[in-house]
Structures are given as C-alpha cells and as structure tokens.
Amino acid sequence: MNTRKLLVNLAAAVTIVFSGQNLLAADAKTILGPLKEARPDLHYGEPTASPIPGLYEVQVQGGPSILVSEDGRYFIAGDVFELRGTTVINIAEQKRSVERKAELASLDPAETIVFKPSGETKAVITVFTDVDCGYCRKLHNEIAEMNDLGIEVHYLAYPRAGLGSPSYRKIATAWCSDNRQEALTRLKNGENLKDNVCEPNPVARHMAMGERFGVSGTPALVLEDGTMIPGYRPAKDLASMLGI
C-alpha cells in the first residue's frame, strides 16, 4: 500500500474508532492505542517528543512519521517547519537527512554500481535509478563529465514499475552481470540484454531503502550529508551544489 493510501485509510479508521470516546491522560499506551486499534496490521515506534507542545512523533514501520495528539485521537502527516526570523527550516527533512546519512554509511558498497573519477574524488552522490527513466538516462549520459569534475556516482536500483516488472528484470540483469557498469550503460542506452535475474539480488532492498528515504521518482540523488535532491540536475549544477 502506498503512503498516501495508508494515511487515508488510517485517518478514516481512527475517526471511526474514537467517535464519542473520552480522552485519556498522555502516555505511550494512550498515544498508540487508537492507532493500534484502528490499524493493528501496522507496527509503530515508541512516541517521542516533537518540537510542538502536545504532539508526539510516531514512526510507522515501513511508512511515514506522523505527529499524534497526547490523547491519541488525532494525527498529522507532513513536515514540521520552524520559523527563525526570516529563515524557514524543515525540521522533518533535517531529521531524515541524518537518518539517510547513517543508513548509507551502513550500506555494503558491493551492492552499488560505482562510477569513479580517474583522479581525485571530491564528492560522492548516491543515485536511485531506473533504466527506463528518461531523465535517469540523461543523467547517466553525463557520468563522464561528473567523473571529470571529481564526482563519484554510486547507483542504487529503483525500478518505478515495481518488482517483477520488465524494468525490474532489466535493472536486476545489470546488477547480476559480470560487468555491472557496462550492462547498466547499455541498458540506459536502450539496448536489449537477455534477462539474467540472479537470486539473491539487492533490488528489493534498494527499493525498500528508497521508500524509507522518501523517493517518489527517479532519478533521486542523495548527497553525503543525507540531503536528497529529486530529479535530474546537470553535472555542472551538481558540482556547484557540492562546492566543487
């Protein structure tokens, strides 16, 4: 179930469950009770204090982080912003960046397809990619330019059509190839390669990671500090963003 549908169903269920009931004192059991009663099939993390008084942050396993009222009756899905003078800060995105950075640090490099500069690596970007995505192909056409600028590219698989789709079989074939770089490049150039879907392969894990990261389309670029940049960016623009 996608995130939007999950939230709609969850909101409807909570409304039905709590219609006309008395409010309870704020504690973990009270905060989580309505969620668990409405959607017992989902798993929830322990509530933690949020920057907004009276609201608690709860992570839905495999889904979004939501803000829940202390009585457990109401929840809000969406980012929290803080105003500091003339600056608007996305607190939720700051937290996600920290989490992305930590998860990327724990990723086995052998699961990625890497295109390294021949000289000094000045910055590293991680890219969730789909071989049938036009802008993914456009970005890949600039791999040599990015490498020349000192940008090292680590690819993760994110076939938008889902597991078992033709796009999945293509990108899994690249990951199962003896020469992953060559296979990925040929597929992005529109060549047809014979399906070679080995088991196990990391594509499902990459897709799950993308969901946790908030990937909604491809290409999705993640910088070393965990910042995510959706969509295609020209090589020179990326270099500027990276301070190169």
Is 89 inside any structural domain? no
What pLDDT, on the 0 to 100 scale, is given for residue 5?
56
- Pair 148, 30 in one domain: no
Verify whether residue 176 is a known catalytic residue. Answer: no
Which among 132, 160, 176, 233 is annotated as catalytic?
Answer: 160
- In this structure, what CATH number is given to the domain that contains residue 67? 3.10.450
Domain housing 189: 105-241
What pLDDT, on the 0 to 100 scale, is given for residue 80?
83
**Preceding omega of 64 cis (within 30 degrees of 0):** no
What pLDDT, on the 0 to 100 scale, is given for residue 115?
98
Residue by residue, DSSP assigns 79-94 as --EEEETTEEEEHHHH
What pLDDT, on the 0 to 100 scale, is given for residue 62?
72
What pLDDT, on the 0 to 100 scale, is given for residue 21?
34
Is 28 inside any structural domain? yes
Verify whether residue 160 is a known catalytic residue. Answer: yes
Verify whether residue 136 is a known catalytic residue. Answer: yes
Which among 73, 96, 136, 137 is annotated as catalytic?
Answer: 136
Which among 71, 96, 130, 233 is annotated as catalytic?
Answer: 130
User: Which stretches of the chain drop beneath a pLDDT of 50?
Assistant: 12-25
Is 92 inside any structural domain? no
Q: What is the pTM of this model?
A: 0.75
pLDDT digits (tens, 9 = 90+) for 61-92: 877 789 999 889 999 888 888 888 888 888 88
- Pair 173, 220 in one domain: yes
- Residue 71 has a CB neighbour count (10 Å cut-off) of 18
What pLDDT, on the 0 to 100 scale, is given for residue 18?
38
Is 96 inside any structural domain? no
What pLDDT, on the 0 to 100 scale, is given for residue 184?
98
What pLDDT, on the 0 to 100 scale, is given for residue 19?
36
Is 227 inside any structural domain? yes
- Pair 156, 228 in one domain: yes
- Pair 15, 114 in one domain: no
